[in-house]
Copies of this chain bind each other. A is one copy, B any other.
Amino acid sequence: MKAIHNLLAALALGIAALPAAAETCDSNEAFTLVLHGGFLDYEEEVGPPHRALFRKLLKSGREQLASGGSALDIVVDSIAALEDSGILDAGKGSIVNTAGFTETDASLMDGRSGRSGAVAAMQRLKNPIKASRLVMDKTEHVLFAGTNGEQTLAGLGAELVKDPASYFQKYTPQPTDEPTKPKHGTVGAAALDRCGNLAAGTSTGGWRDKLPGRVGDSPIIGAGTYADNRRCAVSGTGVGEEYIRHSVAYAIGALMEYQGLSLAAAVDRVIDETLKPGDGGVIAMDPQGRIAMRYNTPSMLRGAADSSGRFEVKIWD
Protein backbone atom coordinates (compact mmCIF):
# COMPACT_ATOMS: atom_id res chain seq x y z
CA MET A 1 0.00 0.00 0.00
CA LYS A 2 2.75 2.39 0.93
CA ALA A 3 4.57 1.80 -2.36
CA ILE A 4 1.35 2.43 -4.30
CA HIS A 5 0.74 5.57 -2.29
CA ASN A 6 4.27 6.78 -3.04
CA LEU A 7 3.81 5.97 -6.71
CA LEU A 8 0.54 7.91 -6.93
CA ALA A 9 2.10 10.85 -5.13
CA ALA A 10 5.04 10.70 -7.55
CA LEU A 11 2.73 10.63 -10.58
CA ALA A 12 0.93 13.68 -9.20
CA LEU A 13 4.27 15.48 -9.05
CA GLY A 14 5.35 14.38 -12.49
CA ILE A 15 7.46 11.52 -13.75
CA ALA A 16 10.76 13.03 -12.55
CA ALA A 17 9.68 12.45 -8.96
CA LEU A 18 9.18 8.69 -9.39
CA PRO A 19 10.73 6.85 -6.46
CA ALA A 20 14.00 5.28 -7.57
CA ALA A 21 13.53 1.99 -5.77
CA ALA A 22 10.07 1.62 -4.27
CA GLU A 23 10.38 -1.61 -2.32
CA THR A 24 8.03 -3.50 -0.05
CA CYS A 25 9.38 -5.63 2.73
CA ASP A 26 6.80 -8.21 3.68
CA SER A 27 8.34 -11.62 3.02
CA ASN A 28 8.73 -12.22 6.78
CA GLU A 29 6.49 -11.48 9.75
CA ALA A 30 9.29 -10.68 12.20
CA PHE A 31 10.77 -7.21 12.63
CA THR A 32 12.64 -5.46 15.44
CA LEU A 33 13.85 -1.96 16.25
CA VAL A 34 16.28 -1.10 19.02
CA LEU A 35 17.56 2.37 19.98
CA HIS A 36 20.12 3.79 22.39
CA GLY A 37 20.80 7.24 23.72
CA GLY A 38 24.09 6.57 25.46
CA PHE A 39 25.09 7.07 29.04
CA LEU A 40 23.09 9.71 30.93
CA ASP A 41 25.18 10.94 33.82
CA TYR A 42 22.91 13.48 35.49
CA GLU A 43 19.88 12.65 37.54
CA GLU A 44 17.95 15.67 36.26
CA GLU A 45 18.39 14.66 32.66
CA VAL A 46 17.10 11.18 33.26
CA GLY A 47 13.44 11.43 32.98
CA PRO A 48 10.24 12.04 31.15
CA PRO A 49 11.55 13.78 28.02
CA HIS A 50 13.99 11.01 27.14
CA ARG A 51 11.52 8.23 27.84
CA ALA A 52 8.77 10.00 25.91
CA LEU A 53 11.01 10.58 22.91
CA PHE A 54 12.06 6.93 22.81
CA ARG A 55 8.45 5.71 23.13
CA LYS A 56 7.38 7.96 20.27
CA LEU A 57 10.19 6.81 17.99
CA LEU A 58 9.69 3.14 18.82
CA LYS A 59 5.97 3.42 18.02
CA SER A 60 6.63 5.19 14.76
CA GLY A 61 9.42 2.82 13.78
CA ARG A 62 7.29 -0.21 14.65
CA GLU A 63 4.54 1.08 12.37
CA GLN A 64 6.96 1.68 9.51
CA LEU A 65 8.49 -1.78 9.89
CA ALA A 66 5.08 -3.45 10.16
CA SER A 67 3.98 -1.84 6.90
CA GLY A 68 7.08 -3.01 5.05
CA GLY A 69 9.51 -0.15 5.60
CA SER A 70 13.20 -0.91 5.16
CA ALA A 71 15.54 -1.28 8.14
CA LEU A 72 17.90 1.24 6.57
CA ASP A 73 15.17 3.90 6.28
CA ILE A 74 13.92 3.38 9.83
CA VAL A 75 17.45 3.54 11.27
CA VAL A 76 18.05 6.83 9.47
CA ASP A 77 14.65 8.29 10.42
CA SER A 78 15.02 7.29 14.07
CA ILE A 79 18.52 8.70 14.42
CA ALA A 80 17.60 11.91 12.56
CA ALA A 81 14.77 12.44 15.09
CA LEU A 82 17.18 11.85 17.98
CA GLU A 83 19.58 14.36 16.37
CA ASP A 84 16.82 16.95 16.04
CA SER A 85 15.54 16.47 19.62
CA GLY A 86 18.29 18.59 21.13
CA ILE A 87 18.22 16.54 24.35
CA LEU A 88 20.91 14.01 23.45
CA ASP A 89 24.52 14.37 22.35
CA ALA A 90 24.00 14.18 18.57
CA GLY A 91 22.90 16.64 15.90
CA LYS A 92 21.33 19.72 17.47
CA GLY A 93 22.08 18.52 21.00
CA SER A 94 25.77 17.94 20.33
CA ILE A 95 28.13 19.23 22.98
CA VAL A 96 31.09 21.46 22.17
CA ASN A 97 34.75 20.45 22.18
CA THR A 98 37.45 22.01 24.36
CA ALA A 99 37.70 24.95 21.96
CA GLY A 100 34.00 25.72 22.35
CA PHE A 101 32.53 24.56 19.05
CA THR A 102 30.67 21.47 17.86
CA GLU A 103 32.08 18.68 15.69
CA THR A 104 29.81 15.75 14.88
CA ASP A 105 30.41 12.16 13.76
CA ALA A 106 28.01 9.55 12.37
CA SER A 107 27.86 6.35 10.35
CA LEU A 108 25.40 3.98 8.75
CA MET A 109 25.70 0.43 7.40
CA ASP A 110 23.37 -1.69 5.28
CA GLY A 111 23.52 -5.33 6.34
CA ARG A 112 22.26 -6.59 3.00
CA SER A 113 24.97 -5.13 0.79
CA GLY A 114 27.68 -3.98 3.17
CA ARG A 115 27.28 -0.50 1.74
CA SER A 116 28.28 2.13 4.28
CA GLY A 117 28.41 5.88 4.74
CA ALA A 118 30.02 7.98 7.46
CA VAL A 119 31.00 11.54 8.37
CA ALA A 120 33.56 12.77 10.90
CA ALA A 121 34.52 16.10 12.48
CA MET A 122 31.69 18.00 10.79
CA GLN A 123 30.85 21.52 11.95
CA ARG A 124 27.73 22.48 10.04
CA LEU A 125 25.79 19.35 9.03
CA LYS A 126 22.24 19.57 10.36
CA ASN A 127 21.80 15.77 10.32
CA PRO A 128 25.02 13.79 10.25
CA ILE A 129 23.07 10.53 9.80
CA LYS A 130 21.34 11.84 6.67
CA ALA A 131 24.72 12.95 5.34
CA SER A 132 25.98 9.42 6.00
CA ARG A 133 23.12 8.13 3.86
CA LEU A 134 24.18 10.55 1.10
CA VAL A 135 27.73 9.21 1.27
CA MET A 136 26.35 5.68 0.92
CA ASP A 137 23.95 6.48 -1.91
CA LYS A 138 25.78 9.10 -3.95
CA THR A 139 29.50 8.41 -3.72
CA GLU A 140 31.96 5.56 -4.19
CA HIS A 141 33.38 6.37 -0.78
CA VAL A 142 32.55 5.40 2.79
CA LEU A 143 33.90 8.20 4.98
CA PHE A 144 34.24 11.99 4.66
CA ALA A 145 35.92 14.19 7.26
CA GLY A 146 36.46 17.84 8.10
CA THR A 147 35.46 21.03 6.35
CA ASN A 148 36.52 19.75 2.92
CA GLY A 149 34.34 16.70 3.36
CA GLU A 150 31.49 18.88 4.53
CA GLN A 151 31.74 21.03 1.42
CA THR A 152 31.72 17.93 -0.79
CA LEU A 153 28.60 16.66 0.95
CA ALA A 154 26.90 20.06 0.75
CA GLY A 155 27.48 19.86 -2.99
CA LEU A 156 25.68 16.51 -2.99
CA GLY A 157 22.70 17.98 -1.16
CA ALA A 158 23.51 17.69 2.56
CA GLU A 159 21.77 20.36 4.64
CA LEU A 160 24.08 22.76 6.51
CA VAL A 161 23.00 24.96 9.40
CA LYS A 162 23.63 28.64 8.79
CA ASP A 163 24.78 29.58 12.27
CA PRO A 164 26.35 26.59 14.03
CA ALA A 165 27.07 28.59 17.20
CA SER A 166 23.37 29.26 17.73
CA TYR A 167 21.98 26.00 16.29
CA PHE A 168 24.03 23.53 18.31
CA GLN A 169 23.64 23.24 22.06
CA LYS A 170 26.12 25.21 24.09
CA TYR A 171 27.48 23.15 26.91
CA THR A 172 27.68 25.09 30.18
CA PRO A 173 29.89 23.49 32.80
CA GLN A 174 28.22 22.93 36.16
CA PRO A 175 30.00 23.24 39.52
CA THR A 176 29.30 19.60 40.22
CA ASP A 177 30.82 18.32 37.01
CA GLU A 178 33.30 15.54 37.18
CA PRO A 179 35.57 16.34 34.24
CA THR A 180 36.51 12.76 33.51
CA LYS A 181 32.92 11.76 32.84
CA PRO A 182 31.15 12.05 29.51
CA LYS A 183 28.42 14.62 29.10
CA HIS A 184 25.24 13.34 27.46
CA GLY A 185 25.11 10.32 25.22
CA THR A 186 25.75 9.16 21.70
CA VAL A 187 22.65 7.86 19.91
CA GLY A 188 22.19 4.81 17.74
CA ALA A 189 19.73 2.40 16.18
CA ALA A 190 19.60 -1.11 14.74
CA ALA A 191 16.70 -2.70 12.88
CA LEU A 192 15.54 -5.89 11.19
CA ASP A 193 12.89 -5.43 8.50
CA ARG A 194 10.37 -7.82 6.96
CA CYS A 195 12.73 -8.51 4.05
CA GLY A 196 15.15 -9.97 6.59
CA ASN A 197 17.58 -7.08 6.17
CA LEU A 198 19.59 -5.64 9.04
CA ALA A 199 20.86 -2.07 9.33
CA ALA A 200 22.65 -0.04 12.00
CA GLY A 201 23.66 3.57 12.55
CA THR A 202 25.26 5.82 15.15
CA SER A 203 25.54 9.60 15.63
CA THR A 204 27.32 11.76 18.20
CA GLY A 205 28.76 15.08 19.22
CA GLY A 206 31.54 13.22 20.99
CA TRP A 207 32.93 13.75 24.45
CA ARG A 208 32.94 16.89 26.52
CA ASP A 209 36.70 16.87 26.88
CA LYS A 210 37.61 16.14 23.28
CA LEU A 211 40.23 18.25 21.53
CA PRO A 212 39.33 19.96 18.22
CA GLY A 213 39.46 17.52 15.33
CA ARG A 214 39.21 14.42 17.55
CA VAL A 215 37.18 11.63 15.97
CA GLY A 216 35.71 8.76 18.01
CA ASP A 217 34.26 5.40 17.06
CA SER A 218 30.81 6.58 15.95
CA PRO A 219 31.85 7.22 12.31
CA ILE A 220 34.06 4.14 12.14
CA ILE A 221 32.45 1.14 10.48
CA GLY A 222 33.53 -1.91 12.51
CA ALA A 223 34.14 0.13 15.68
CA GLY A 224 30.93 2.04 16.51
CA THR A 225 28.61 0.65 13.81
CA TYR A 226 28.34 -2.66 11.96
CA ALA A 227 25.66 -4.55 10.04
CA ASP A 228 25.82 -7.82 8.11
CA ASN A 229 22.66 -9.82 7.35
CA ARG A 230 24.55 -13.05 8.07
CA ARG A 231 25.85 -11.91 11.44
CA CYS A 232 24.33 -8.98 13.32
CA ALA A 233 23.65 -5.25 13.53
CA VAL A 234 25.46 -3.23 16.22
CA SER A 235 25.66 0.36 17.46
CA GLY A 236 27.95 1.37 20.31
CA THR A 237 28.31 4.21 22.79
CA GLY A 238 31.16 4.93 25.15
CA VAL A 239 34.86 5.68 25.20
CA GLY A 240 35.31 5.72 21.44
CA GLU A 241 39.04 5.21 21.58
CA GLU A 242 38.54 1.79 23.21
CA TYR A 243 35.89 0.87 20.65
CA ILE A 244 38.33 1.73 17.84
CA ARG A 245 41.27 -0.17 19.35
CA HIS A 246 39.15 -3.31 19.73
CA SER A 247 36.98 -3.01 16.58
CA VAL A 248 34.10 -3.60 18.98
CA ALA A 249 31.14 -3.70 16.59
CA TYR A 250 32.90 -5.98 14.10
CA ALA A 251 34.24 -8.18 16.92
CA ILE A 252 30.70 -9.11 17.99
CA GLY A 253 29.98 -10.45 14.49
CA ALA A 254 33.34 -12.24 14.34
CA LEU A 255 32.67 -13.98 17.68
CA MET A 256 29.28 -15.13 16.35
CA GLU A 257 30.58 -16.42 13.02
CA TYR A 258 34.00 -17.75 14.00
CA GLN A 259 33.31 -18.96 17.56
CA GLY A 260 29.68 -19.93 17.13
CA LEU A 261 28.55 -17.69 19.99
CA SER A 262 24.97 -16.45 20.25
CA LEU A 263 24.49 -12.70 19.92
CA ALA A 264 23.98 -12.41 23.68
CA ALA A 265 27.15 -14.38 24.45
CA ALA A 266 29.19 -12.38 21.93
CA VAL A 267 27.97 -9.09 23.39
CA ASP A 268 28.68 -10.30 26.93
CA ARG A 269 32.20 -11.27 25.93
CA VAL A 270 32.93 -7.82 24.48
CA ILE A 271 31.28 -5.80 27.28
CA ASP A 272 32.64 -7.90 30.15
CA GLU A 273 36.04 -9.02 28.86
CA THR A 274 37.27 -6.91 25.96
CA LEU A 275 36.16 -3.56 27.41
CA LYS A 276 36.84 -2.24 30.90
CA PRO A 277 34.16 -1.23 33.42
CA GLY A 278 32.95 2.26 32.53
CA ASP A 279 33.89 2.05 28.86
CA GLY A 280 30.33 1.97 27.50
CA GLY A 281 27.66 -0.20 25.95
CA VAL A 282 26.13 -1.56 22.76
CA ILE A 283 22.78 -2.40 21.28
CA ALA A 284 22.86 -5.39 18.94
CA MET A 285 20.52 -7.61 16.95
CA ASP A 286 20.92 -10.99 15.26
CA PRO A 287 19.39 -12.02 11.90
CA GLN A 288 16.30 -13.39 13.72
CA GLY A 289 15.72 -10.07 15.44
CA ARG A 290 16.84 -11.20 18.90
CA ILE A 291 18.45 -8.28 20.70
CA ALA A 292 21.11 -7.54 23.30
CA MET A 293 21.41 -4.23 25.18
CA ARG A 294 24.47 -4.35 27.44
CA TYR A 295 26.61 -1.67 29.10
CA ASN A 296 29.23 -1.37 31.82
CA THR A 297 28.46 2.27 32.58
CA PRO A 298 26.01 3.23 35.36
CA SER A 299 23.20 3.66 32.83
CA MET A 300 22.29 3.48 29.16
CA LEU A 301 19.17 5.01 27.67
CA ARG A 302 17.72 2.23 25.49
CA GLY A 303 14.52 0.90 24.04
CA ALA A 304 13.19 -1.89 21.87
CA ALA A 305 10.04 -2.80 19.98
CA ASP A 306 9.33 -5.86 17.86
CA SER A 307 6.67 -7.83 15.98
CA SER A 308 6.04 -10.10 18.98
CA GLY A 309 4.72 -7.18 21.03
CA ARG A 310 7.83 -6.34 23.00
CA PHE A 311 7.90 -2.65 23.82
CA GLU A 312 10.25 -1.24 26.45
CA VAL A 313 12.26 1.85 27.35
CA LYS A 314 14.89 1.78 30.11
CA ILE A 315 17.66 3.94 31.46
CA TRP A 316 18.89 2.20 34.59
CA ASP A 317 18.90 -1.54 35.19
A→B interface (CB under 8 Å): 99, 103, 109, 114-116, 120-121, 123, 139-153, 209-216, 220-223, 226, 240-241, 244-247, 250-251, 254-255, 258-259
A13 to chain B, nearest CB (A): 30
Complex partner residue of A148 from B103, B139, B152, B223, CB under 8 angstroms = B103
Complex contacts, A143 vs chain B, CB 8 Å:
120, 214-216, 220, 244
23 interchain pairs, CB-CB under 8 A: A103-B148, A114-B245, A116-B245, A120-B145, A120-B146, A121-B145, A121-B146, A139-B211, A141-B210, A141-B214, A141-B216, A145-B145, A145-B146, A145-B215, A146-B146, A148-B212, A150-B213, A151-B212, A152-B214, A153-B213, A221-B223, A250-B251, A255-B258
**Cα distance A99–B144 in the bound complex, in angstroms:** 14
> Which B-chain residue is minimally distant from A241 (CB atoms)?
B142
Complex partner residue of A144 from B116, B123, B215, CB under 8 angstroms = B215
Centre residue among A115, A141, A210, A251 by max chain B CB count within 10 A: A141
A282 to chain B, nearest CB (A): 15
Interface of A is mostly: mixed
A264 to chain B, nearest CB (A): 17
A212 touches B245 (CB 8 A): no
A222 touches B241 (CB 8 A): no
Complex partner residue of A120 from B120, B142, B223, B250, CB under 8 angstroms = B120
B212 touches A142 (CB 8 A): no
**Cα distance A252–B251 in the bound complex, in angstroms:** 12
Complex contacts, A209 vs chain B, CB 8 Å:
140
A35 to chain B, nearest CB (A): 24
A181 to chain B, nearest CB (A): 14
> Which B-chain residue is minimally distant from A122 (CB atoms)?
B146
A178 to chain B, nearest CB (A): 15
Complex contacts, A140 vs chain B, CB 8 Å:
209, 241
B213 touches A146 (CB 8 A): yes
Complex contacts, A103 vs chain B, CB 8 Å:
148
**Cα distance A216–B221 in the bound complex, in angstroms:** 11
A199 to chain B, nearest CB (A): 14
B211 touches A152 (CB 8 A): yes
A213-B247 contact given A255-B258, A259-B258, CB 8 Å threshold: no
Centre residue among A103, A212, A222 by max chain B CB count within 10 A: A222
Complex contacts, A226 vs chain B, CB 8 Å:
247
**Cα distance A308–B223 in the bound complex, in angstroms:** 37
